[in-house]
Chains A and B, each alone.
Chain A
Amino acid sequence: MSVKYVPVQWNPNKWLYDAIMLAAVAAFLWVFLYLSPKHDPAINAQIHNARAFGACAFMMLTVILCIGPLARLDRRFLPLLYNRRHFGVMTALVALTHAGFVINWYFAFSSINKYVGLLSANTSIGQVAGFPFELFGLFALVCLLLLAATSHDFWLKFLTPPVWKRLHYLIYAAYFAVVGHVALGILQDQRDHTVTALFLGGAAIVVVLHVTAWLSAESEASEASGTWAKVAPTAAFREGYARVTRLPNGDRVAVFLMDGQLSAISNACAHQNGPLGEGKIIDCLVTCPWHGFQYDVRSGRSPAPFTEKVPTYRLRLVNGTVEVHTDANPPGTYVDPLPLPTMQTEVVA
């Protein structure tokens, strides 16, 4: 038993997030369409609209791709991460509008099907100047639509988080394709260098942030000796909270201190892989910060009547350092908590 699906789980934060996002999109389009100078007097309104929505989609995708690494590098950006799916859906719609303006202008006034025209008008894939950059845009659009169409909670549960996340890694291929679409397309004839600077700056920020976040995550990987991995010294734990460690196989484990005893569960919530290690323990239960699913940290089980379960891990103490076994127990397996000698004394006292 869990919660029934609804179209959107609205809350005040989501309303505010979406309102700010929509206002920013409207402001960008208004500035692009009505305030920025037209450097090419030959273009008509249809093309100008296409360029406005295309530039907007690029900027939105750039911001989306910055949110993930920013949140990993600095926890203050986490609120931006938690409603990113609405941002993604809106980006796909803006990109689709861009494609609509393009296809209904450049390919609509011919005897052949406009989609056939899109694919056959330029097939010179062997040259850089004059490359059919539309193909990059088409690939990126399909990726964005795929990601938006599979963004509902149902998909994550149905496909399982690993499959869903692998599918959503397409965002990186889509961003590369968008950069290629711009670099071999409008950049070849760009006379407004403000847009050129925004494009190059945006792509550079995405690359730098992701490489930095990746290197940072690599440096956080715990040391492992055989089947046990180091978590932290006993003094590093705080009552009611967790320390999260990354195992050599990439799994993240949340080690909680509750009543002077340690328990370890998977950091990934069974609902949507939310970060359980960021939750606080209340009445033996940790609450996932994303959607409020709760688990007993000793057994990894949700309280009845709910049935969600997460894997648990064994712990041991070696020379004042807490270590976790790298093999996960099946979800819902009870593990005796590991008492911390110093904390036990404090509790007793």
Chain B
Amino acid sequence: MPIAEVIVTAAQAWLWIGAVVALVFLTIGMDRIDADARGAYVFRPLLVPGILLIWPLVLWRWWQIEAQSSPWAARYRAVRASYGLAVIAMSLGIIAIVALGLTARQSWPAGIAPIQLSDGTNE
């Protein structure tokens, strides 16, 4: 099976598992772990796309809350310290990719015949 088909099949499986997790979490789990959600149902469909995408994280947090295994301080720990790292990485990446793009850009005379850069996958 070509790698592209494997990726698409894996993505579909991921979403199906997410759908099962969403069904169980929104009908059973949510009321057990969050008092603010008890009696509030209209907002729950809004959470389905998120659960489809990050269902392993949902299961991990559900287990953590049920087991009360999360230290209180973790909830207040600032993540601003990582901001500098994120900014530097993004900035250097942007400068590099724009420079690459402008370097590779070519100006062609009008009406020139196209040139094949690499072999096609069907050859």
Which residues of A are in contact with B by a Cβ distance under 8 Å?
Answer: 1-7, 113, 115-121, 123-124, 127-130, 145-146, 148-150, 152, 154-155, 157-163, 165-167, 169, 172-173, 175-176, 179-180, 182-184, 187-188, 200, 203, 206-207, 210-211, 213-214, 217-218, 246, 249-252, 266, 268, 270, 310-311, 328, 330-331
B113: Cβ under 8 A from any A Cβ: no
Binary contact track B18-56/A, C-beta < 8 Å → 1, others 0: 000000000000000111110110110011011011100
What 7 pairs across the A-B complex have the smallest Cβ distances? Answer: A183-B101, A119-B4, A120-B4, A149-B49, A250-B81, A149-B50, A130-B117
B72-123 interface with A by 8 A CB criterion? 72-84, 86-91, 93-95, 97-98, 100-106, 117-118, 121
A135 to chain B, nearest CB (A): 11
* SS class, residues of chain A in contact with chain B: helix
User: Contacts A150-B54, A172-B89: A218 and B35 contacting too (C-beta < 8 A)?
Assistant: no
Partner of B87, one of A157, A172, A252: A172
- Could you show 10 A-B contacts with beta carbons less than 8 Å apart? A119-B8, A120-B3, A128-B101, A146-B54, A172-B86, A203-B94, A203-B98, A206-B94, A250-B78, A330-B72
Give Cα A161 to B73, complex, Å.
11
Partner of B61, one of A5, A149, A159: A159
Q: Once A and B bind, how many residue pairs between them come within 8 Å at the CB atom?
A: 186
B1 to chain A, nearest CB (A): 10
Question: In chain B, what residue has the closest Cβ to A142?
Answer: B53
Chain B residues with CB under 8 Å of A218's CB are 84
Give Cα A149 to B49, complex, Å.
6
Partner of A116, one of B2, B43, B46, B75: B2
Which residues of B are in contact with A by a Cβ distance under 8 Å?
Answer: 2-5, 7-8, 11, 33-37, 39-40, 42-43, 46-47, 49-50, 52-54, 57-58, 61, 70, 72-84, 86-91, 93-95, 97-98, 100-106, 117-118, 121
B116 to chain A, nearest CB (A): 9
Chain B residues with CB under 8 Å of A268's CB are 76, 78
The answer to whether A180 and B97 have CB atoms under 8 Å apart is yes
The answer to whether A160 and B8 have CB atoms under 8 Å apart is no
Chain A residues with CB under 8 Å of B39's CB are 4
The answer to whether B121 and A169 have CB atoms under 8 Å apart is no
The answer to whether B61 and A184 have CB atoms under 8 Å apart is no
Partner of A184, one of B2, B89, B91, B104: B104
Chain B residues with CB under 8 Å of A175's CB are 90, 94
Q: A5-B37, A115-B11 known; 15 other A-B pairs, CB under 8 Å?
A: A120-B3, A146-B54, A154-B37, A158-B34, A159-B61, A161-B75, A183-B97, A187-B105, A203-B98, A210-B90, A250-B78, A310-B76, A328-B73, A330-B72, A330-B73
A273 to chain B, nearest CB (A): 8
Give Cα A4 to B35, complex, Å.
8
Chain A residues with CB under 8 Å of B83's CB are 214, 217
Question: In chain A, what residue has the closest Cβ to B84?
Answer: A214
Partner of A128, one of B34, B81, B103: B103
User: Contacts A2-B36, A116-B8, A251-B77: A129 and B104 contacting too (C-beta < 8 A)?
Assistant: yes
Partner of B118, one of A124, A157, A331: A124
